[in-house]
Structure 1
Amino acid sequence: MDAPSPRSKTEISGGAHATRQHDSAHKHVTGSADYIDDMPEPAGTLHGYLGLSDRAHAKITSLDLDAVRAADGVIAVLTAADVPGSNDISPSGRNDEPVLATGTVLFHGQPVFAVIAESREKARRAAKKAVFCYEDLPHVTDVRAAMDANYPLVTDPLKLERGDIEAGLAGSPRRLQGEMRIGGQDHFYLEGHIAFAIPGEDDEVTVWSSTQHPSEVQHMVAHALGTVSNAVTVQVRRMGGGFGGKETQSNQFAAIAAIAAKKLNRAVKIRPDRDDDMIITGKRHDFVVDYDVGYDDSGVIHALDASFAARCGFSSDLSGPVTDRALFHADNCYFYQDVRLVSKPMMTNTVSNTAFRGFGGPQGMLGGERIIEEIAYALGRDPLEIRKANFYGGPGRDITPYHQTVKDNIIARVVEELETSSDYQARRAGIIAFNETSPVVRRGIALTPVKFGISFTATWYNQAGALVHVYQDGSIHLNHGGTEMGQGLNTKVAQVLAEEFQVDLDTIRITATTTGKVPNTSATAASSGTDLNGMAAANAAQQIKTRLVAFAAEKFNIPEDQVAFEPNHVRVGNELMPFGDFIKLAYQERVQLSAAGFYKTPDIHWDRASGKGRPFYYFAYGAAVSEVSVDTLTGEYQVDRVDVLHDAGKSLNPALDIGQIEGAFVQGMGWLTTEELWWDDKGRLRTHAPSTYKIPLASDRPKIFNVKLADWAENREPTIRRSKAVGEPPFMLPISVLEALGMAVASIADYQVSPQLDAPATPERVLMAVERLKAMVTEAYVSGEDEADA
């Protein structure tokens, strides 16, 4: 035994709560991070490409693939008849999502066949040679049109209800009704969808997939191959972004690659072009929100009756849970005395929409914020006053529409601190004064809050596993069920493990997520990655530590409480032993140095039929103030300043959390301002490339961008080191941008009329809103003149 270095006596490098860079940051910057398309290809690797329908809804009366098969380099052409198992990859189990379409196509761009060729380019060119004959059928792409045509996707839409809605509305001193349209969003990950399948012996196959849900890909591939899950191994080292788009949408690419690989006994890779990727894969759901709200002269909401209809696409995918979660967040931070919220998932002849950061929560929350804004303009008040008047409070005002008690409510403090630190009131007064004298440029400011529930509402997904090995030299191997898509999950979980063992962070190596090491993984989604996998890793470490403590106590004949893990050392009685030396000794004494950890979230339950339960383990909170300038002649605008105060609990890594908040804000701002999806009258998605679909650029970021963590916050629930999830909650902070734009537009009519901006508030929509209010002002002026003349 020897004495530790001075630093190691007091601290380790990179434990929990420390600011550390992403473990692959240097690789991302230099381009040395390996993604699936960077992997060396085995000799004889083939490449696949998908043949797509060019009708939104039609019967395929004939399909001639002779020219495809005869094309240069083509090895095989696969259709549904070549699927050896089940031709279905529906994550909901509704048997409504074929691997390859047969008989009838249900959206423009639906995969019908797959070409397997010697190169990707040859496969892509060959796929264009197919000759289709169709019998066209009626199609619907719009949410409202689907409602008019009675195209419900599910027969059991969720309803959340509390109190007496009819009496509440009838007894309210004031009442208003309205509609809001909320646009969808493409995930636009930097790395598109890709799958690489390598056949093995017997029925075995290994699939490298860019997926957030390795176990689901495993099950779907096995399902399509007609085999069992233990024959399929799915591996994920990292993704170049996911945002929910790779929770279910990876299934199709992986299944087709695996089918081709097993059929031809050669490695097969599939990677679509960006255009086809955007056409084939699902988006964030578009919503139409209809509301009827009763309130009083102080702006307090007495009753709310609202429906949330969504464009779901041709199949169920995750639309049921997404529309459910929209209802869960329609309250945001506000108490509704009498309330009825109903989901309306609608089938449309478009690609099946899917998970996207927030999973329906942003759409529900935005609908709730529109209602607050409507009340504020009707009363001539600052929307912030109406927000505060409706915040959840003490007993009697702390029950959500789904009957969960809000016990950890800190939104009032978050908003108060941000209101003060951002100088909101003085800036708002200055903006109103500016707008009175500015003929063209108008400015706006808004402060909006966020309360976001954390947990999968499908209770069984709230579990995770981890595998930890400690090697003889003291180095540690970690594998867990989460997937790294750039969010820093691996770094955080490694920090947790370093803290448990009291070793430096560089002692830990995290390897590719694989179903062969950790089975039955949950999707890395619902902001749960660190919560679940961090706790599972800690559990594995604690198992090993328990064995090590018992070994040391017996070996050195001391009580167990005299064995302690200290920075890079283990204290045994009065002596310190370097961690590596201690582990070597334990190995020689045949102590098991490996453990499978497990964690399941406690105290959550949900009864969908009754609309009651505790679906969320806790809530994450935040607030943002945004200031904008609008050119009323063109509708163009810029975001001048943003101030954010966000609750990440006791942050595991402040640098990563702030990065997530900044990224979420910009992505959410894109959803609400520039990212517009548009289908033409033939059901074709026309915004399917960077040339037609505008994500935010670096130049679109707020000119002044202040982001701060609520460093006083700490999760009251025993989560991993009392931290809180940070993936999804900040996505809704840029609702403040949309409402600031609304204030700038409302200045045209002296803030007396709600601007009613739908999302995304593109410059075109902003200009149309400006012109609508100008026309109203002119009409009121002319009407007043006529009355004066009379």
Structure 2
Amino acid sequence: MRKLPLNTPTPAHSARGLAGHSVKHESAWKHVSGQARYIDDLPMPEGLLHAAVGHSEQAHARILSMDLSAVREYPGVVAVVTASDVPGDIDIGPVLPGDPVLADGVVEHIGQPIFAVAATSHEAARKAARLARVDYEPLDAVVSVDQALEKELFVRPSQTQLRGEPDKALAEAPNRLSGQQFVGGQEHFYLESQACLVEPTEDGGMFVHTSTQNPTEVQKLVAEVLGLPIHEVHTEVRRMGGGFGGKETQAAAPACIAALLANVTRRPVKYRLSRPDDMVQTGKRHDFFNTYDIGFDDDGLIHGADLMVAGRCGYSPDLSDAIVDRAMFHADNAYYLDQARVTGHRCKTHTVSNTAFRGFGGPQGMMVIEQAMDDIARHLGKDPLDIRKLNLYRPGRDTTHYDQTIEQHVLPELLEKLEASSDYRKRREEIAEFNGSNPVLKRGLALTPVKFGISFTAKHLNQAGALVHIYTDGSIQVNHGGTEMGQGLYVKVAQVVASAFQVDLDRVKVSATRTDKIANTSPTAASSGSDLNGMAALDACEKIMEGMIEFAARHWSTSPDKVSFSDNQVIVGDQVIPWQTFVQTAYLNRIPLWSSGFYATPKIHYDAETGKGHPFLYYSNGAGCSEVVIDTLTGEYRVLRTDILFDVGRSLNPEIDIGQIEGGFVQGMGWLTTEELVYSDEGRLLTTGPATYKIPAVSDCPPDLRVELLPNSPNREATIFHSKAVGEPPLMLGIAVWSALRDAVSSITDYRFSAPLDTPATPERVLGSVNASQAWLAGQKESA
């Protein structure tokens, strides 16, 4: 592959919008004007039916009988299907079995689909689905992580990563602390709920318009459910109204249900979940129960660590094996754990099967070590930032507990820069003065780092394909396996292609992702969309360019090294040929102007049995500094200011990257502060809409939010133009807000006590932490 330089800002006469420049999102004007089309905006095909499901009202039960006569007789109902009507495979588990498309005999969570209805209107389908009479035999239900741990009920075997002799190191350490935490889950709350439109084709197949991050998986599972070869099913994704991981596997079930109904009726079927149904029926971020046992010296340097992370997986494996893996990989976050044991449990509960969510287990794993850092600092009477800096990965202390070496050390420099630019030390003094003179309001400050591994932990997913067409007028069309969910992937890939040929960005168009153009696509996830698809598109461009250069040298009688591309022109020896003229000439001389491209991530491997390997190509790094103020009488709080410094390598599009960082931070802040999933003791989700589940509003954002990209830090790995991933890692910057809340609470005890604060840190929980601190203080006074 030829090495193409990353373009830096150039004079006005050069090609416009190349990689490295800030360019607006390719659909921005459509989003703002309302012209962007989502699944529910597509023109209705003739004979369209609408789908709904009847779902379980029991967390764990055997279905004794099911009377659907009233459902079938409801006005507008055209078809009703159950598990017995599935012509192919009933199980649609994405990796491992356990997910029936419709429940067959036994239900394992409230909200599990047990039959599906097709009707002439959305309202008729939903109303009819409520008329079923189902008799159950209740079975024992486990609904929480601690219950599953007590019963040793797991969806997959537990695993351990071990280095050295942590028990010996813990026993010999001058200081030792232990603690635990509950880390709450999170609803994806994408603006566009799960939706699809399935149309039967003339030859017995299906065409699926779907809102998914994983077109190939939807294609494959629809084919398997219908008993068809995969080539009879095509899926298309133009855009999603948000995904965040919630449409990596969870989009498959609606598509399969709609396909079943379309297969029975031979009519197109749309299935759009209402917000409450979406929240009840689809998986969420795993909530975790974590524990730590840490040994350290009087300076705060960690000598030994025994960490445990246990995720609530729900009733089936889904992606939980890999998610808990990533929680284990990131239980160190940015810190060197010399002698360490990390254990991960995949807890089975009779709740909806939890799934991918931005960060994919990494954020939950990081939480345990970040709590430990704060607790060590309080124990020793030191600033938490100093403890964090002391334990950072650095040369000589740069091998993870799973045996991967950190090859690019940016964190020490990055934290020093943010500490200075955020005025951390000066503000720490000001906060101490403020807290000393305010008995009710207390301020807190925290600066926390992020180290996040980039690559799918399932090795085979680290591949991508692309197709590039140059038309005779010089315009270029690109198709690749990545999906656009608002993150700017399409415009970044277009910039890569424009840079390859050195033409204006407006000459390049990225078309909708389709499985009949690029086969066997990996999901757009793991922060790898630009890395994988950008490289695949560049590979296709270089194949075309190779033919172009050979032709130009032959046609104009010069050597290949005298052929170059610049500013919408092709330079051949002493001649300067306009791009469009050159393309037309190449076409007339029968030179291929299209090619496919492919990329597979190198170097990655991991052995789950030994807990050792090199699962990530590289690490993405950043840090956030947040200041909060709490009311000790009510637990209410505000985030006052957040400073962020993030390393994106050589950014493909700085403004898009900054937007991702801002959005990721706010989403992470919401996960740790306001977004609370509440279940009844029977396993029923009680927070099923915006009235009961609070995502951050504009008013919750820091009024002072400062985001900068770390300059002069190209990726040492051969990623696309040496950029670094930016999709998931910024979410973990929200940890700084949670840590700042703990800091504010700790000020009540003059930073001598580190009160627990489970997440989400709602005002109620903050008040509970305040009360615990005041109780500790009272106990100290009594003992004195």
Same fold, TM-score > 0.5, yes or no: yes
- Maintained 8 Å contact 2:291/2:308: yes
What are the Cα deviations for residues 366-399 of structure 1, in whole angstroms up to 9, with x where unaligned? 111111111111111111011111111222x111
Letter in 1 for 2:720: I
* Residue identity opposite 2:566 in structure 1: E
Structure 1: distance between partners of 2:768 and 2:711: 42
The 5 Å alignment of 1:327-346 reads 327-346=328-347
Any idea what SS the aligned residue of 1:543 has? helix
Q: Does 1:83 align with 2:62?
A: no
2:437 aligned residue? 437
Matching residue within 73, 77, 98 for 1:74: 77
Secondary structure class of the residue paired with 2:726 = coil
Q: How does 1:609-688 map to 2 (within 5 A)?
A: 609-688=609-688
**Residue correspondence of structure 1 range 547-626 to structure 2 within 5 A:** 547-626=547-626
Output the amino acid matched with 2:50: H
- Report the alpha carbon displacement of residue 781 of structure 1 after superposing the two structures with TM: 2.2
Give the superposition deviation at 1:419: 0.3
* Residue ranges of structure 1 left out of the alignment (5+ in a row): 1-6, 785-790
**CA distance in structure 2 between the partners assigned to 1:312 and 1:457 by the alignment:** 18
State the distance in 1 between where 2:487 and 2:604 align: 26
Displacement of 1:203: 3.0
* Residue correspondence of structure 1 range 363-402 to structure 2 within 5 A: 363-395=364-396, 397-402=397-402
1:250-329 alignment to 2 at 5 Å?
Answer: 250-329=251-330
1:404 alignment counterpart: 404
**1:470-521 CA deviation, whole Å, 9 max, x = no partner?**
0011000100000000000000000000000111001011110000000010
User: Residues of 2 paired with 1:366 and 1:46: CA distance?
Assistant: 46
Match for residue 67 of structure 2? 64
2-side partners of 1:566 and 1:392: how far apart? Answer: 42
User: 2: distance between equivalents of 1:464 and 1:154?
Assistant: 29
CA distance in 2, matches of 1:104, 1:262: 25
Q: Matched residues in 2 for 1:729 and 1:568: separation?
A: 36
User: What letter is aligned with 2:534?
Assistant: G
Counterpart AA for 2:45: P
More divergent stretch after superposition (164-173 vs 630-639): 164-173
Counterpart-to-counterpart distance in 2, 1:9 and 1:333: 42
1:747 positional shift? 1.1
Distance 1:743 1:391 in 2: 20
Contact 2:647 2:709 (C-alpha < 8 Å) held by counterparts: yes
Q: Deviations over 1:555-603 (max 9, x none)?
A: 1111111111111111111111111111011111111111000011111
Residue in structure 2 matched with residue 34 of structure 1 by the alignment: 37
Which residue does 2:517 correspond to in 1?
A: 517
Establish whether residue 463 from structure 1 lines up as the match of residue 458 from structure 2: no
- Partner amino acid, structure 2, of 1:467: L
Please report how far the alpha carbon of residue 771 of structure 1 lies from its aligned counterpart in structure 2 after TM superposition. 1.1
User: Is contact 1:9-1:566 (8 Å) kept?
Assistant: no
Q: Distance in 1 between matches of 2:357 and 2:63?
A: 32
Q: Is the 8 A contact 1:537 1:597 kept in 2?
A: yes
Following the alignment from structure 2 to structure 1, what is the Cα–Cα distance between the partners of residues 608 and 409?
Answer: 24
- SS of 2:213's equivalent in the other structure is coil
8 Å contact from structure 1 (residues 9, 567) kept in 2: no
Of 25, 40, 46 in structure 1, the residue corresponding to residue 28 of structure 2 is: 25
Q: Give per-residue Cα distances to partners, 1:312-343, cap 9 Å, x unaligned.
A: 00000000000000011111111111000010
One-letter identity of the residue aligned with 2:135? C
Q: Which amino acid aligns with 2:358?
A: R
Q: 1:727-742 residue pairs with structure 2 within 5 A?
A: 727-742=727-742
Q: Distance in 2 between matches of 1:241 and 1:97?
A: 24
SS of 1:176's equivalent in the other structure is: strand
Which secondary structure does the structure 1 equivalent of 2:660 belong to? helix
**Which AA in structure 2 matches 1:421?**
S
Aligned to 1:347: 348
Inter-partner Cα distance in structure 2 for 1:480 and 1:320: 28
State the AA in 2 paired with 1:300: L
Runs of 4 or more, structure 1, over 4 Å off, are 7-10
- Asked if 2 retains the 8 angstrom alpha-carbon contact of 1:626 and 1:641, the reply is yes
Q: Which amino acid aligns with 1:677?
A: L
TM-score normalised by the chain length of structure 1: 0.97
Write the distance in 2 (CA, Å) between the matches of 1:423 and 1:607: 44
Q: Deviations over 1:237-271 (max 9, x none)?
A: 00000000000001101111112112211100101
Native 8 Å contact 1:743 1:755 kept in 2: no
8 Å contact 1:548–1:586 — kept in the other structure? yes
Aligned partners of 2:302, 2:155: CA distance in 1, in Å? 32
Q: How does 1:186-265 map to 2 (within 5 A)?
A: 186-265=187-266
1:68–1:129: 8 Å Cα contact kept in structure 2?
Answer: yes
User: How much has 1:778 moved relative to structure 2?
Assistant: 2.0
For residues 769 and 365 of structure 2, what CA distance do their matches in structure 1 show? 23
C-alpha distance in 1 between matches for 2:280 and 2:12: 57
How far did 1:302 drift? 0.5
Look up the equivalent residue of 1:45 and give its one-letter code: L
Please tell me whether the aligned partners of residues 447 and 736 of structure 2 are also in contact (alpha carbons under 8 angstroms): yes
Contact 1:8 1:568 in 2 (8 A): no
| Mapped partners of 1:757, 1:638: distance in 2 | 16
How far does residue 272 in structure 1 lie from its aligned partner after superposition? 1.2
State the 1:8 CA deviation. 8.8
- Extract unaligned runs of 5+ from structure 2: 1-9
CA distance in 2, matches of 1:606, 1:142: 30
Provide the C-alpha distance between the structure 1 equivalents of 2:600 and 2:111, rounded to a whole number of angstroms: 40
Q: Distance in 2 between matches of 1:238 and 1:620?
A: 26
SS in 2 for 1:153: strand
Equivalent residue runs for 1:131-170 within 5 Å = 131-155=133-157, 157-170=158-171
Q: Secondary structure at the match of 1:623?
A: strand
**C-alpha distance in 2 between matches for 1:779 and 1:362:** 35
> Does structure 1 conserve the Cα–Cα contact (< 8 Å) formed by 2:544 and 2:593?
yes
AA of the residue aligned to 2:737: V
SS of residue matched to 1:544 = helix
The amino acid across from 2:108 in the alignment is: L
> Residue 580 of structure 2 aligns to which amino acid in structure 1?
G
Alpha-carbon separation, structure 2, partners of 1:626 and 1:106: 41
TM-score w.r.t. structure 2 length?
A: 0.98
Cα offset, 1:52, TM superposition: 0.8
Distance 2:756 2:382 in 1: 16
- In structure 2, what residue type is equivalent to 1:58? A
Q: Secondary structure of the equivalent of 2:156?
A: coil
Contact kept? 2:117, 2:261, Cα under 8 Å: no
CA distance in 2, matches of 1:292, 1:91: 35
Alpha-carbon displacement from aligned partner over 1:703-757 (angstroms, at most 9, x marks no partner): 1000000022110111101100000111101111001000111111111011221
Identity %: 53
Q: Is the 8 A contact 1:349 1:683 kept in 2?
A: yes
8 Å CA contact retained: 2:58, 2:110: yes
SS in 2 for 1:769: helix
Q: How many residues matched?
A: 775
* Aligned 8 A contact 2:395 2:409 in 1: no
Mapped to 1, the partners of 2:734 and 2:592 lie a distance apart of: 50
Deviation at 1:137, TM superposition (A): 1.2
Amino acid at match of 1:728: E
